[in-house]
Amino acid sequence: MQDTDDLDLEPVTFLVEAEIAARRAFDARVAREPGFSALARKRVSRYLDNPIWRGLVELHINGATSFEHGLMLRGAGLVRPARFFVRRGSEVRILSLRQISRI
């Protein structure tokens, strides 16, 4: 991975390298997890490689997912667009999980 202090680093390259580094760190953490069998490690990695599962898990755990995952979930019929208004009258657009997609 290139040095992040390099000002000539293209943003796209940096984001791709950051994603790869984050995935390697996650895989290393899963590999160190004492309660996981080899099958469980493989299953976790396979689930997170699937964009639909990853988006659902991100929504469940973090309450948010990426725009791309949101579009995939909407296309699969697992979320629906919704909106609500905050105290000052501003509209906020959200994705709401459909009952079928709740984990």
User: Is 6 inside any structural domain?
Assistant: no
Cβ neighbours, 10 Å, residue 81: 10
Rounded distance, CA 45 to CA 26, Å? 9
Based on the number of CB atoms within 10 Å of its own CB, is 32 exposed (0-12), middle (13-18) or buried (19 or more)? exposed
Q: Can you give the pLDDT at residue 12?
A: 76
User: Is 1 inside any structural domain?
Assistant: no
> Which residue, among 72, 23, 70, has the nearest Cα to 49 in the 3D structure?
23
Residues of the chain with pLDDT under 50: 1
Rounded distance, CA 43 to CA 41, Å? 5
User: Is 25 inside any structural domain?
Assistant: yes
User: Is 3 inside any structural domain?
Assistant: no
State the residue range of the domain holding 22: 11-101
Q: Can you give the pLDDT at residue 38?
A: 84
Contact 30, 37 (CB under 8 A): no
User: Is 2 inside any structural domain?
Assistant: no
Q: Can you give the pLDDT at residue 45?
A: 81
Q: Can you give the pLDDT at residue 69?
A: 85
Rounded distance, CA 94 to CA 91, Å? 10
Looking at the structure of the chain, the number of domains it has is 1
pTM: 0.56
